[in-house]
Each structure stands twice: as C-alpha cells, then as structure tokens.
Amino acid sequence: MALVFAGICSHGPGITGRAERADPALRDPFYAALDSLRADIEASGAEALVVIAAEHFANFFMDNMPAFAMGMGEEYEGPIEDPDWLKIPRTTIPGAPDLSQRMISEMMQTVDLAYAQEWKMDHGIMVPLHFLTPKMDLPIIPANINCQGPPLTPLSRAYAFGQALRRACDAVPEKIAVMGTGGISHWPATPNSGKINEAWDREFLRRWCENDKDALLSYTDEDTLRDAGQGGFEIRTLISIAGLCEGATGHIRFAEPIPIFSTMCVAATMDVS
Amino acid sequence: MSLYQVQKLLYQLNRDTATQARFKTDVDSVLSDYKLTDDEKNWLRNGDVGELYIHGVNGQILMHYAAFIGQEWDEYIQAMKDGLTKHGQVRDGIYRAVDGGDGGAI
Ligand SMILES: [Fe+2]
C-alpha cells in the first residue's frame, strides 16, 4: 500500500549491553522514546519493517563490499556478538522474501544494490529490533549502506537510495515501516569511545528535521572524520530516511548524549505524507 | 602488517560459530588459513588488543573479538589505551587519520 512509518534511532551496543551503567535519568526517557516508536509502528499496521543499517562487518567485508545491500531471506539470525555481552539473546528473525524481491526489483531501476538471502545481524540491527519489535515477530527486511570500509557510499547516493525505497514502498500493496539507524558524531570501539560532539549532532539533526537536502549532502568525509569521528560516517543511514521522506519534516522524540552508550542517543520520526 | 588478512580472520571469527569453536580448540589451524606474520599470529593467540588496535584493526571488528575472548568493556578500552602508550599512535587503517592524523590519540 505505502510507506506508513519512517523514523531513525541509535544502535550502539552499549544501549543494551551496558544499560545498567547509564544514568537512569537519561536512559529511561530514551528507552521510553524508543518504545513510543514501537507503539507507532504497531499502530501503523506495518506488515514489514525495513531497517537501513550501517553494519559492522557482520556480512560484508573488503573482499566484496557493496555500496548498498538488501536482505531477501526467509529468515535471519542474530546477534553475531556474544549474547551475554550484548544482552540480547540469539534468535531467528522472520524475513519477507517475496516482498523483498518485489521491492528490490523496483529499486534496481535507479540504484544498483546487492541482494542477500543470508544475513547475520549485529548490534546495528539487533539493538533497534530489541526495542521496536521486542518479540522479534515482525517481518524484517535488512538493508545496509557501506559506512565502514572506504571508499564509502557517497551521501548523495544514500539520499537516492531512500528515494528509490520510497518508490518501492509506494509500488507494493503491503504497509511498510522504515527505520534508519546510525550514529551521529561518535568514536565507537576506540579509546575515545564516549566522546560526543553535541553541537555537531544538533546541527545535523536540525538539517535532518528540516529535510534540507543540500545542507545534508554538503558534509565531506574529511570534515565528518575530523568533527564527528569515524562513527559519523553512519549519517548515511539517516540521510537515506530524508530521501525516503523527501520534503517532509522530522520530529525529535529524544536526543541526548549518553557517553556510556558511546553516542548521542536519538529517537525521531519523519512525516510520511 | 597484513592488516587485510588479520581483519579478514577476525571478520570470519566474529560471525561464524564453527570458526569460534576451532579458534578455541585449535587456534593454529585457524591462523594458518590466512597469510599472517609471526607477530600477528602471536597477537591473535594472546588476545593482544593493544597491538591489534595500533596496527589498524577496525574497532568494530576488534570490539566483537574482545567480547569473544571475554574482555569486559573497560578492559577492552584500557587495552587500546595501553597499546597507544606502549607502542605509539595507530599506524594503519582508518584510525590513522582520526583526530587530525593523531592516530587515535586521546
Ligand atoms: Fe554503528
């Protein structure tokens, strides 16, 4: 039928794995905001959830790195990480292979994407799913934008990926929800873990909420690396949601730095009509 | 440093439970699947996160490996800090350019 929900959220493994170390005064409102996204997705009647992620070498490596990939499997498994470390049990997640195939076919008209009938999910998808579909019963279509192994997917192409996804959503009879998940400024998994450039993040979110395409696409990787760390490369996933909802307005439900989660923690939606 | 080979080994290890089991029971058979230097083999055998970090292993790959070998979060962060103190700045990979070329210095 159409796109019925669009949003973004953070996915740092600390969000679940180091939950008990976060200040409850910040953590609990963040969790509540994520839960409000879950409620909205359920209320939207979504029959499948596309998660646009920045995976961290769980499926794709520098021997064959796609700029874009999308899952077309019957089911997926995750997390690849030690479940005790991530504090999310290992499980099987239902896919939507027929729907995936129809959407991918449409998207390929304008975006050269790889498809994958196997996909192992890492924290980049498992953490969002833990909050957005806690029973892991909503069919998922994972998608990935290369934010990790340079040369990275250009920002303009991430936007175009979102536009193609919108066309695909509009072309199928099913109701589709889409979430983009990535960090803004952060230096994850390094000695600088916990460093957050809040001013940079707030400026990025302002551009995102206004869906200011030119401003969103004006970041260079050099600038991002300097000001927002290598984790900042994940803005591609957030920019794809701006492309998905071109011209629409975003609404922040929560955006506060939580250093033990290694990132600015965000939950937001973007209008779909 | 055969950074590509080290990272490829860790990529497989992180995602594949059969490789994880083999790494625990017969680490040398896993190491021999990749073109590694003796130093690299030692770092991987000994779980030397500091050396692996300053030689450029991507933190996303390294973090999952650290969890696999049972390092707590603070231990993992400290191991990288110790690597920087002991051996100097990151000399390869994406982190060489972090912080204006300071190579991941804090
Ligand atoms: Fe990430």
Question: What pLDDT, on a 0 to 100 scale, did the predictor assign at position B68?
Answer: 94
CA distance readout (Å), A269 to A78, B49, B96: 25, 38, 35
Q: Tell me the shortest Cα–Cα distance from B38 to chain A, in angstroms.
A: 23
Q: What is the CATH number of the domain that holds A10?
A: 3.40.830.10
Among A58, A63, A193, beta carbon nearest to B8: A63
Q: Which of A183, A76, A90, A58 is nearest to A140 (CA)?
A: A76
Query: Could you tell me the two tokens for B23?
Result: 């790494």
Contact B79, B50 (CB under 8 A): yes
* Number of structural domains chain A divides into: 1
Q: Which chain A residue is nearest to residue B8, measuring alpha carbons?
A: A61
Q: Which CATH architecture has domain B3-97?
A: Orthogonal Bundle (1.10)
Q: For each of chain A's 273 residues, which pLDDT tens digit applies?
A: 599 999 999 999 999 999 999 999 999 999 999 999 999 999 999 999 999 999 999 999 999 999 999 999 999 999 999 999 999 999 999 999 999 999 999 999 999 999 999 999 999 999 999 999 999 999 999 999 999 999 999 999 999 999 999 999 999 999 999 999 998 999 988 888 899 999 999 999 999 999 999 999 999 999 999 899 999 999 999 999 999 999 999 999 999 999 999 999 999 999 998
Among A57, A59, A225, beta carbon nearest to B61: A57
Domain boundaries, chain B: 3-97
Question: What pLDDT, on a 0 to 100 scale, did the predictor assign at position B102?
Answer: 58
Dist. CA A246–CA A242, nearest whole Å: 6
Domain limits for position A36: 2-270
Q: Which residues of A touch B106 (CB under 8 A)?
A: 191-192
Q: Which residues of B touch A223 (CB under 8 A)?
A: none
Q: Which residues of A touch B11 (CB under 8 A)?
A: 57, 61
Q: Tell me the shortest Cα–Cα distance from A190 to chain B, in angstroms.
A: 6
Q: Which of A229, A204, A227, A228 is nearest to A216 (CA)?
A: A204
Q: Do strands A263-270 and A250-258 pair parallel, antiparallel, or not at all (unpaired)?
A: antiparallel
Dist. CA B15–CA B52, nearest whole Å: 18
- Residue A212's CB is within 10 A of a number of other CB atoms, namely 13
- Residue B99 pLDDT > 60: no
Contact B52, B3 (CB under 8 A): no
Dist. CA A71–CA B60, nearest whole Å: 21
Chain B residues with CB within 8 Å of chain A CB: 4, 7-8, 11, 14-15, 53, 58-64, 67-68, 73, 77, 80-81, 84, 94-95, 97-100, 104, 106
Residues A61, B7: C-beta atoms closer than 8 Å: yes
Burial (Cβ within 10 Å: 0-12, 13-18, ≥19) of residue A266: buried
Helix axes B59-68, B3-15, angle to 10 degrees: 50
Dist. CA B3–CA B11, nearest whole Å: 12
pTM for this entry: 0.96
Round the CA-based radius of gyration of chain A to a whole number and report it. Answer: 17
* Check: complex ipTM more than 0.90: yes
Contacts of B31 (CB under 8 A, 6+ apart): B9, B41, B44, B45
